[in-house]
Chains A and B, each alone.
Chain A
Amino acid sequence: MSAAATSHDHAHDHSHDDHAHDHHEQSFVWKYIFSSDHKTIGMQYGLTGLIFLLFGFFLMLLMRWSIAYPGVPVPAIETIRSIPGICDLFEAMFGRWLNADGSLNGELYNMLGAMHGTIMVFFGIVPLGFAAFGNFVMPLQIGTIDMAFPRLNMMSYWFFFISCVLMMYSFFVGTGPVQTGWTMYSPLATTTSMGVTSVWSHGHTWWLTAMVFNISASLLGSVNFIATIINLRTKGMAWMKMPFFCWAMFVTAFLLLLAFPPLEVAAILQLSDRVFGSSFYLPTGLMEGGKHLDISGGGSPLLYQHLFWFLAHPEVYVLILPAFAILTDIIPCNARRPLWGYKSMVYSVLTLGFLSFLVWAHHMYLTGMGTMMSTYFQITTVLISVPSVILLTCLMVSLWGGSIRFNTQMLFASAFLPMFGIGGLTGLPLAFSFIDLALHDTYYVIGHFHYVVAPGTIFALFAGVYHWFPKITGRFMNDKLGKWHFWPSLLGMNLVFAPMFIQGMAGFHRRWYDGGKYFENTSGFSHWSTTLTHKIGAFFGFDIPDNMLSLNIVMSVGAFILALGQVPFIINFWFSIKGGKKTTSDNPWDATTMEWATPTPPPHGNFLFDPVAHRGPYEYSVPGHGTDFYPQWESEPGKPETKPAADKVLAHH
């Protein structure tokens, strides 16, 4: 029963109240804020996720400034500090930690780094990729009216919202936000700033509390997704007629369901270490500042890493699978070809989901956990690349022989393929412990991971926004602005992340706030890429040194280009809601999956008829068929199903 329904229940005496009602005018609050409609919740998640992506990106820009120009005041700092309103906020969050001259220091850099990781992963990409797209699209694609548990769905968003508030609050407390990287390794994360008078002025305590809410939200969401897919598929929607999108969401939901609880355990134990003074992660004899800590000891820092990575490796697939999900809709639709190898993709994604639980300790080769353990995890890690490659290959082959429409979403989708390929292939060496020992914690790892997630997942998410925007609003996003968004983003992403491989192999450590300026043995030599940078700089009249530090400037310029590239997107997004070109049909992309059979935008209850899946989800360019697409819901060629739904409106009156 929705919250909306609750407010009307007094008027109608229903035998069961587990139903949502759509036949009353809902007030704004119940319709858009405390809504239990899967589409509204999807949009809430989506907007929150987009805002956090932007915020996490802003944190990264500050970091990049410090890396490229250590010790130089942040540009326009005086301007920011003079804007009324903004200045107080900026001062409380960041300004109070800056050096007197307005430049960054290591302390602030660590805070930015930890929060960039946390926010991007847990508050940006997962909410946008899984919760937003999954919530909006998945129930439509399986032809149902809502999620199985609409009220839990609403609760999921509001738990998430609480966790956002708590996480942001950590910027304002005494110690500022956490400084220990998004991984929060103990004992550092347990003992930093023990001198503070109250645990609640530690940003870390707030981080942990926020994560407990975030995890609970994921849990409610994933239970809902799985139950919906199992039980609410419409007539004819057999498992193997289900779009791959739903399969990917199904597996993602299982990863969240089973991998997050160990992180919850890790968070609870760390919270206990901080608040109750226990020693789960603290070894005997631990000292800080030359003083023995008042703890019993006897715990193990390794325990934290095991619990953490048991979540955090599946989490990587939680980040990437929604991207595959989105692409399997966009690529066949715009290549006008069926998805190649649908069944092998389904089996691959299931294998991938299973194997992702068996690879976690490849993040821990350097901890000295033993060669037997390392060998085992090397094998599973190499194994898991097989299903990943099958997924990518199927998407690539799907392009073969297509007549491709290069609209904005297809540009993003096709850029995803090589970008994710680079990210994946550079990951292979890291699977082997002997190489990983050298590359661990260098920029190489950062480059690898970000190629997977930034030009990989985030491009797919952009593609999804462009693709489903007409269904949500009834208007297209502007294609020209879309291209102004795409090309700078592609260029910027590569300028930021490609040089990381060179720097990483040269030995640059990921946590240098000065970008390696004081590590001359590492940063002092040149390479063809640095010479090129030097020459290009000289051509434009800039004095860029011919050593590894020059790449910092390249990357920061790349980040700046990337930032500029998002401006057209933001303009496009907000202006198209009211001012975009109107769609003329409910199925503007001539797609085949069921979300396009609904009115635009889909009303509460979604379908105007009882949808039946008559065929597979990717029937494009079927030989002998009149048009080049044959939607799932059409009972015979060209004849949309019109039988009205068994009337939902008056069902029990």
Chain B
Amino acid sequence: MDIPYTVHARPDTGLYNAKIGIWLFLASEVMLFGGLFSAYIFLRVGADYPWPVHDLDVTLGFINTVVLIASSVTVVMAWACLKLRKFGWYRINMAITVLCAAVFMFNKTLEYKAKFAHYAVKLTDGTLLTGHLPHGYQIKFGDVTELELSVPVKNSAVTADPVGYVLPLIDGEAPKFKTEDGQEIALDSKSFASLAASALEKAKAANKGSASIKLVSATPLKFIAKPSEIFGYTATTLTFRDGTTATGKLTDDKMTLEVDGVDARGVAQSEKSLAFDHRYLGEEWQKAFVANRDHHIAKFEKDYPTRDKARSATLQKESLFFKLHSATPPAAGEAHGDKHGAEAHAPAEGGHGEAHGHHPTVVLEKKDITFFSNFTPKLNTYYAIYFTLTGLHGAHVVIGALVLAYFLCFDNKRLKQDPEHLANRVEVGGLFWHFVDLVWIFLFPLLYLL
């Protein structure tokens, strides 16, 4: 038995089933992206930090726009050629469409990759330093001889997991540990289970809420961890997410950053930003920053005498977000403003394929850093919505291209025997493709231009 109207339209509605289906699906997609666009507006209107403007590469975005619009044209051509039974041209147009999708995604990958390698560090006064972390950022904690594991008596979401979680953070081989009873053990899941069991028994007998296990290391340990991997630390203790505490000495929590930008929009008096502290960029960069700032303000006053300076996001960005293009301040010939040891020198060689040029390097102290992230959703709500929107859109591009590629490569039987049906399929796929294109046409100005 046949489901009616799979190929030919029903006379009174004028539609075949799949066409209704795709339009309904697109209505739902409109609500999906509508929700995200609304979220964008909500976040931007309510943002309590300077909303990033003109942060993205417009050229790349423009190329992608052209590529996607071209693919929308070719997909219609493919459909029309199929209707006219010009199979060769159908194949060519379809192949171009899929190729365009590949170019689009390639450009997207370039954009994403650069962002993942680029960092922003927020200082305590609100200054944002952007740049690269040539060595990454890790907390180094040494001289640990004692570990205290905490096992709750009552069932709990957080419980000690030394084997799966703590041991991998040790720098080098895990040594043998001595328990409180003087036994020497290699910490593995079996030995930990028996330790935990006996500790729990003791805690229950003493009517305590949680059992603790003390382990003494035979040789001093060193931990190296990303800040996100641990729960917190002081000068003498390191706390892990599973409640384990290590006692030892903090050896290094400084961050080495190759600075390529100083964003002082969040600072009340921009020239007094902590970035220009003598330990960091110093006076010479401060002078360059002030010169750049005043230059842009003067230019704005000249070009737009009637406009309110405080309300121009573009001016705020141009005057207060200072880009550093060389290792030394542009006022050439003068001595480095670093009498107090913060060497402004060329970045570490190697490791980064992209040409950063030469940037000054600063060694930031942990007490001056409130937050840092690479350019990922974590950085701020703009990048969060940017990645969500473009990521979801990219997923749609990939799925759409796969469907179209399927029609091109694996539907030859239908092409020969029932081209009308295949034309319907291409039409439905093409409608989806147009939608994907349309979403990008909204995304491009919203994220790149506004």
* A residues with CB within 8 A of B: 15-16, 18-22, 96-97, 100, 144-146, 148-150, 152, 174-176, 193, 195-197, 201, 219, 222-224, 226-227, 230-232, 257-262, 264-266, 268-269, 272, 276-280, 284, 291-292, 294-300, 302-303, 306-307, 310, 604-605, 648-649, 651-652
The answer to whether residues A257 and B157 also contact, given A150-B3, A262-B35 and a CB cut-off of 8 A, is no
| 28 cross-chain CB contacts under 8 A | A18-B3, A18-B6, A18-B421, A19-B2, A144-B4, A150-B3, A196-B158, A197-B241, A223-B28, A227-B24, A230-B13, A231-B13, A258-B28, A258-B31, A266-B35, A272-B387, A276-B376, A277-B228, A277-B378, A280-B381, A292-B370, A295-B371, A295-B378, A296-B371, A296-B380, A299-B43, A306-B42, A307-B35
In chain B, positions 316-358 with a C-beta closer than 8 Å to chain A are: none
Q: Are A298 and B380 in contact (CB under 8 A)?
A: yes
Assembly CA distance A448 to B326 (angstroms) = 68
B369 to chain A, nearest CB (A): 11
Q: Are B231 and A195 in contact (CB under 8 A)?
A: yes
Assembly CA distance A137 to B18 (angstroms) = 22
B32 within 8 A of A: yes
Q: Are B377 and A19 in contact (CB under 8 A)?
A: no
> Which chain B residues lie closer than 8 Å to A22 at the CB level?
1
Q: Are B21 and A223 in contact (CB under 8 A)?
A: yes
> Which chain A residues lie closer than 8 Å to B446 at the CB level?
none
Binding site secondary structure of chain A = loop
B379 within 8 A of A: yes
The answer to whether residues A196 and B241 also contact, given A219-B28, A276-B376 and a CB cut-off of 8 A, is yes
Stretch binding the partner chain, chosen from B44-52, B73-81, B188-196, B278-286 = B44-52
Question: Closest A-chain residue to B166, C-beta based?
Answer: A197
> Which chain B residues lie closer than 8 Å to A16 at the CB level?
6-7, 414, 418, 421
**Knowing that A306-B42, A307-B39 are A-B contacts, what are 4 other residue pairs whose CB atoms are under 8 Å apart, sorted by A's residue number?**
A152-B21, A272-B377, A278-B383, A303-B42
Q: Are B384 and A280 in contact (CB under 8 A)?
A: yes
> Which chain B residues lie closer than 8 Å to A15 at the CB level?
417-418
By CB atoms of chain A within 10 A, which of B1, B7, B38 has the most?
Answer: B1
Question: Closest B-chain residue to A604, C-beta based?
Answer: B1
> Which chain A residues lie closer than 8 Å to B16 at the CB level?
231
Assembly CA distance A620 to B15 (angstroms) = 35
User: Which of A227, A265, A279 makes the CB contact (< 8 A) with B20?
Assistant: A227
Q: Are B17 and A148 in contact (CB under 8 A)?
A: yes
Q: Are B39 and A280 in contact (CB under 8 A)?
A: yes
The answer to whether residues A269 and B24 also contact, given A148-B3, A195-B231, A196-B158 and a CB cut-off of 8 A, is no
Q: Are B27 and A193 in contact (CB under 8 A)?
A: no
Assembly CA distance A201 to B161 (angstroms) = 13
Q: Are B15 and A230 in contact (CB under 8 A)?
A: yes
> Which chain A residues lie closer than 8 Å to B243 at the CB level?
195
> Which chain A residues lie closer than 8 Å to B46 at the CB level?
300
> Which chain B residues lie closer than 8 Å to A652 at the CB level?
2
Q: Are B388 and A195 in contact (CB under 8 A)?
A: no
Q: Are B28 and A299 in contact (CB under 8 A)?
A: no
B390 within 8 A of A: no
Q: Are B388 and A261 in contact (CB under 8 A)?
A: no
In chain B, positions 226-276 with a C-beta closer than 8 Å to chain A are: 227-228, 231-232, 241-243
> Which chain A residues lie closer than 8 Å to B388 at the CB level?
268-269, 272
Assembly CA distance A15 to B228 (angstroms) = 58
B155 within 8 A of A: yes
Q: Are B381 and A279 in contact (CB under 8 A)?
A: yes
> Which chain B residues lie closer than 8 Å to A201 at the CB level?
157
Question: Closest A-chain residue to B154, C-beta based?
Answer: A100
Question: Closest A-chain residue to B378, C-beta based?
Answer: A277
